[in-house]
């Protein structure tokens, strides 16, 4: 059976996040996209739940910046959007549940 390549990398903890970020950048990535919240198509990661800890997000952002790349985050709820922006994420993808206060912050 032939496994299809995946654009998904799972990393837990700051050290794994740094390693995964470095590996993707070495492969030629010019940005890193993380899951800041669950998604519509991920039944085990509900839409309103945050992903990654502050330390993990900051580690990914710091490593990306060191390589001249930015970090994007898949986020739906306002809390996830705000957290990601506070921790250095440069672009929010989707943002479907953003509120006025968070939009002004961003």
Q: In order along the chain (106 residues), what is the average pLDDT of each group of 10 residues?
A: 64 97 96 92 82 96 98 96 97 95 90
Q: By C-alpha distance, which of 66, 67, 69 is closest to 91?
A: 69
**Phi, psi (deg, nearest 5) at residue 97:** -110, 25
CA–CA separation, 39 and 47 (whole Å): 5
Which residue is it, tokens 């970090």? 71
Q: What pLDDT, on a 0 to 100 scale, did the predictor assign at position 99?
A: 96
Instruction: Give CATH superfamily name and number for 14-105.
Output: Amidohydrolase (3.40.50.10910)
Q: What pLDDT, on a 0 to 100 scale, did the predictor assign at position 1?
A: 45
Q: Are strands 91-97 and 31-35 parallel, antiparallel or unpaired?
A: unpaired
Asked if residues 78 and 102 have their Cβ atoms less than 8 Å apart, the reply is yes
Q: For the whole model, what pTM was predicted?
A: 0.90
């Amino acid at each position: 059976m032939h496994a299809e390549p995946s654009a998904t990398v799972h990393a837990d903890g700051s050290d794994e996040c740094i390693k995964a970020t470095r590996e993707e950048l070495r492969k030629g990535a010019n940005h890193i996209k993380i899951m800041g919240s669950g998604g519509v198509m991920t039944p085990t990661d509900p839409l309103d739940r945050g992903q990654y800890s502050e330390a993990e997000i900051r580690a990914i952002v710091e490593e990306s910046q060191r390589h001249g790349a930015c970090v994007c985050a898949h986020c739906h709820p306002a809390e996830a959007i705000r957290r990601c922006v506070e921790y250095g994420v440069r672009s929010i993808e989707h943002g479907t549940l953003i509120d006025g206060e968070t939009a002004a912050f961003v």
